[in-house]
A and B are shown apart, each in its own frame.
Chain A
Amino acid sequence: MSADREKHDMTQTDIALLLADAADEVEIGIAPVQAVIRGGRRRRARRWAVAAATTMVLAGSTGATLAVTGLPGDGQQDRGTSVAAEARHVDRPHLTELAGGTDQGQRWRVELSVWDAPRDKAEVTRQLEAMRRYGIDADALPERSHLVGKTSHFASLYYGDRGGRVLLFDTAQEWNRMTGKDIEFGALPLTKGGADRADRLVVGQVAATARQVECTWEGGTGSVVRPRAAAGSPVKWFVCLGPAGKANKSAWVMD
């Protein structure tokens, strides 16, 4: 070994020793297993639009929402069935109106769009263009590099004559499996930047077997709604709207 090489190796060895020495300075502490698991569950839950102040709750059975099913978007279909390309909703989403009504004289509705998984880059390009045309905000558009093989869904609010505002969205290879009384929901104001900033619009998903969901509001009142199936989604969806100025307190599956 030449002198230069010896010196080179010595230098790198010493840097490794110095790094090890410095690394020992960190306080290791106890691994926060439960905190990580809770965080992981939240990550599995829907990604809620961050523009609005939102609250999100993941509740239900002990970790059952961590289970995975087949590819999202195939709903109740036989997973072994090959779906013809023309039957897939790559650039024409499955659309379902989840709920609607009138608030302070303004019509509102929440619409769910489910986009089947693109199979290649060409389909990704088509899908992203279609999502933009549909009105998905740039902030909610999934990253191009992460789209192949993944289904996306967006719950959008249409209020008055305004365009759609994405309330929640997710792009994933697999839907969460929801069973029993599992529930995931978020609450946020009905209007963005309006006077009523109470988180009184609740959008959520429950198991396909759920029949009734109760949302409760500040002041002790409650609303019972029937969750509904949505095209392209293996879970049911529900929407509750609380009284003006009353924020959501909770939501739970009654039966």
Chain B
Amino acid sequence: MGDGKQARSEEFQSFMVGRWPRLMRTAFLLTGEQHAAEDLVQSTLEQVYVAWRRVGSADDPEAYVRRVMINLHARKHRRRLKEFLAPRDDSGLVHEVADTGDRIAQADDRSALLEALAQLPPRQREAVVLRYWEDLTETQTAEAMGCSVGTVKSNAAKGITKLRAIPGLAGMVTHGGRK
């Protein structure tokens, strides 16, 4: 392998190791399930690896990665709708081991939020996760989702409204949630 290729490979590995935790969390919110999240991140990074020569030298490789992940999520969702609308029991959330009442309640909240997210249409879920977890601007979210800013606003607003309408979650949100 030439020096250039070696350097690019090392650069990619460094990028991947550094971004892995954050990508896993985002994927988890998108998919609601541990293994699905791992699959999504792995598939995303495989595509990034293929295009790394171009991506690695781009001004904002993160934007490319987000776009790939959202595309993959949207594509998979089109094919396997039910998988995402019905969170699986092995999510690890429902069976959270809780040793105090507060932890139990906290796990319940998380579970409620993930279930609520899973019930959102995928575009609304993507908009909510990118805007409020990734903390992207509307423009950045639109770039990641490959749509207009107006569509992002609409999807995010609908998503938030639906989340607030869910019993339990609405109370958490309205009263400041658990911190």
A63 touches B1 (CB 8 A): yes
Residues of A within 8 A of B9 (CB): 37, 63, 66
Pick from B42, B93, B176, B177: contact of A35, CB below 8 A.
Answer: B42
Flag whether B11 is at the interface (Cβ < 8 A): no
A37 to B52, CA, bound (A): 11
Chain B's nearest CB lies how many Å from the CB of A230? Answer: 23
**Complex contacts, A29 vs chain B, CB 8 Å:** 24, 38
The total of chain A residues at the interface (CB under 8 A) is 37
Contact present for B42 and A19 (CB under 8 Å) = no
Task: Judge whether B160 and A11 touch: CB under 8 Å.
Answer: yes
Name which of A38-46, A80-88, A118-126, A190-198 contacts chain B: A38-46
CA distance A27 to B93 in the complex (A): 11
A44 surroundings in chain B (CB, below 8 A): 50
A21 cross-chain contacts in B, Cβ below 8 A? 106, 109-110, 113, 177-178
Interface residues of B in 98-120 (CB under 8 A from A): 106, 109-110, 113-114, 117
- Asked if B29 contacts A28 (CB within 8 A), the reply is no
Binary contact track B65-82/A, C-beta < 8 Å → 1, others 0:
000000000000000000
Q: Which residue of B lies closest to A21 (CB)?
A: B110
**Does B16 count as interface, using CB distance less than 8 angstroms?**
yes
> CB within 8 A of A31: which of B2, B17, B27?
B17
Tier of interface size on chain B: 35 or more
Distance of A231 Cα from B128 Cα, bound (Å): 50
Q: Is A105 an interface residue (CB 8 A)?
A: no
- Whether a CB of chain B sits under 8 angstroms from the CB of A255 is no
With contacts A40-B46, A43-B47 taken as known, whether A20 is within 8 angstroms of B133 at the C-beta atoms is yes
Q: Are B177 and A17 within 8 A (Cβ)?
A: yes
Chain A residues near B37 (CB-CB < 8 A): 26
Q: Is B174 an interface position by the 8 A CB rule? A: yes
A25 CA to B92 CA, complexed, in Å = 8
- Residues on B with beta carbons closer than 8 Å to the beta carbon of A63: 1, 5, 9
- Interface check A32, CB cutoff 8 A: yes
Measured CA separation A140–B32 after assembly (Å): 33
Docked pose: A39 CA to B43 CA in angstroms: 8
Which of chain A's residues 12-27 have a Cβ closer than 8 Å to chain B?
A: 12, 14-27
Contact indicator A26/B24 (Cβ below 8 Å): yes
B139 at interface (Cβ–Cβ under 8 A)? no
B26, B49, B163, B176 interface centre (most CB from chain A within 10 Å): B49
Q: Is B53 an interface residue (CB 8 A)?
A: yes
Nearest A residue (CB) for B91: A25
In contact, B34 and A27 (Cβ under 8 angstroms):
yes
Nearest-CB distance from A165 to chain B (Å)? 24
A23 touches B109 (CB 8 A): no
Residues 1-54 of B at the A interface (beta carbon under 8 Å): 1-2, 5, 9, 12-13, 16-17, 20-21, 24-29, 34, 37-38, 42-43, 45-47, 49-50, 53
Q: List 17 A-B contacts (CB under 8 A).
A: A15-B160, A16-B135, A17-B177, A18-B172, A21-B106, A25-B110, A26-B24, A27-B92, A31-B16, A36-B46, A37-B49, A40-B46, A43-B49, A63-B1, A63-B5, A63-B9, A66-B5
